[in-house]
Amino acid sequence: MVSKTHLEKFSTPNRRLMGAGPSNIYPEVSEALTRREIGHLDPLFVKMMDEVKSMLRYVFQTKNEFAIAVSAPGSAGMEACFVNLVEPGDKVVVCVNGLFGGRMVENVERIGGTAVVIQDEWGTPVSVKKLEVALKENPDTKIVAFVHAETSTGVRSDAETIARIAKEHNCLVIADTVTSLAGIPVMTDEWGLDAVYSGSQKCLSSVAGLSPLTFSDKAIEKITNRSDKIQSWFLDQTLVLDYWSGEGKRSYHHTAPINSVYALHESLRQVCNEGLENSWQKHLDAHIRLKKGLEELNFNFVVEEEYRLPQMNSIYVPDNIDELAVRMELLNDFNLEIGAGLGKLSGKIWRIGLMGYNARKDSVDYCLNTLKKVLNK
């Protein structure tokens, strides 16, 4: 028999989460998490789901009927796009300029599609010239996929131009907006994006574990006209659609994470009340303040200013600084979390996030002042 284990109640310090995500949540979102649970098919919950859909359309800037929150993190939102839209044998041009573009390639290959990879250096945007060449050389391409805001480096790619080129070649477009949504413009309809996914824990400043997702009518048409079954039952959006849509009674698909949906509803309400333009400006203002302070400390940015994300700031760590030791001191002594480098940039850069609730003057100043204290010892 396994013996009983007694553990003390788990508690957490009050940390400033200024890495690559999650971000700190709004106080109102924290309060929303504590609301009493109701059933996931309760008419009140269904009504709230409809409000979530309406607010998602606003932040995605779309009139798509299909706008939901996948009951799983952004990585599942990515997989939902590929597993629904890519059929075995489909050719997909994947633009890779960081870690998450590489994950897109993995998705295509695991499904049985053919990935045509456009490779750009980490920290640089997707090359639209390379995309044009790839599509001309592969006229049977069905889909173009790219990361709008590459979290691993803090670089922004030209989503509008990428989508325009893809449409000229009759391709559907999958866009990763996990780090960009509500931080910089994401214009789903205007740019012609067909499948767009994001994450709840970045610029929306909600709890991690939900992935906002929207599909265009053309994407829905491809899904419904598939010749084979979608490989994932849970991520099959033709089944989920009956839970998130319809008048009156909804079909059971899975038990939604009720309190997390409460939290997402509240974070979306915060963004909607603030207004997208104000949200974008808030992130830019915070970035400008951080940039000035980091340059005074002689840090160099990884990404050229023209392509730099205001909400994800990557800087090179000088050779004379023990990057891990500094990060651990910031975390343990000052409750400040900043992000490490990933992949080929591991140990070489720091990633400082100014996302959602943390895109504030006091957060920027705390980060800069704490860095000064630690580095000047």
What pLDDT digit, counting tens, does each position of 272-322 carry?
Answer: 999 999 999 999 999 999 999 999 999 999 999 999 999 999 999 999 999
Given this model, what pLDDT does residue 43 score? Answer: 86
For 135-159, the pLDDT digits (tens) are 999 999 999 999 999 999 999 999 9
pTM value is 0.95
| Tokens 């000229």, located at residue | 168
Given this model, what pLDDT does residue 326 score? Answer: 97
| Tokens 């992935």, located at residue | 211
Given this model, what pLDDT does residue 250 score? Answer: 63
Contacts 24+ apart (CB under 8 A), 132-139: 132/165, 134/93, 135/93, 135/165, 135/166, 135/168, 135/169, 135/171, 138/91, 138/93, 139/169
Six-digit token pair at 346? 């591991």
Catalogue all structural domains in the chain, each as residue range(s) with its CATH number: 16-22+276-375 (3.90.1150.10), 28-272 (3.40.640.10)
CB burial class (10 A; 0-12, 13-18, 19+) of residue 193?
buried
Six-digit token pair at 304? 């050229």
Given this model, what pLDDT does residue 69 score? Answer: 95
Distance CA 94, CA 104 (A): 7
Structure letter (DSSP) for residue 119: E
- Residues (pLDDT < 50) of the chain are none
Distance CA 267, CA 56 (A): 11
Do the Cβ atoms of 154 and 351 come closer than 8 Å?
Answer: yes
Given this model, what pLDDT does residue 308 score? Answer: 98
Given this model, what pLDDT does residue 249 score? Answer: 55
Do the Cβ atoms of 174 and 145 come closer than 8 Å?
Answer: yes
Using CA atoms, how far residue 7 sits from 1, 2, 14, 54, 347, in Å, is 19, 15, 21, 43, 35
Given this model, what pLDDT does residue 377 score? Answer: 78
3-state secondary structure of 273: helix
Farthest CA pair distance, the chain: 66
Given this model, what pLDDT does residue 41 score? Answer: 82
Distance CA 207, CA 209 (A): 7
Given this model, what pLDDT does residue 192 score? Answer: 98
Structure letter (DSSP) for residue 181: B
Do the Cβ atoms of 73 and 79 come closer than 8 Å?
Answer: no
As a whole number of Å, the CA-based R_g of the chain is 21
Ramachandran class of 89: left when φ > 0, alpha when ψ lies in -120 to 50, beta otherwise = left
Residues 6+ apart with CB under 8 A from 330: 336, 337, 338, 370, 371, 374
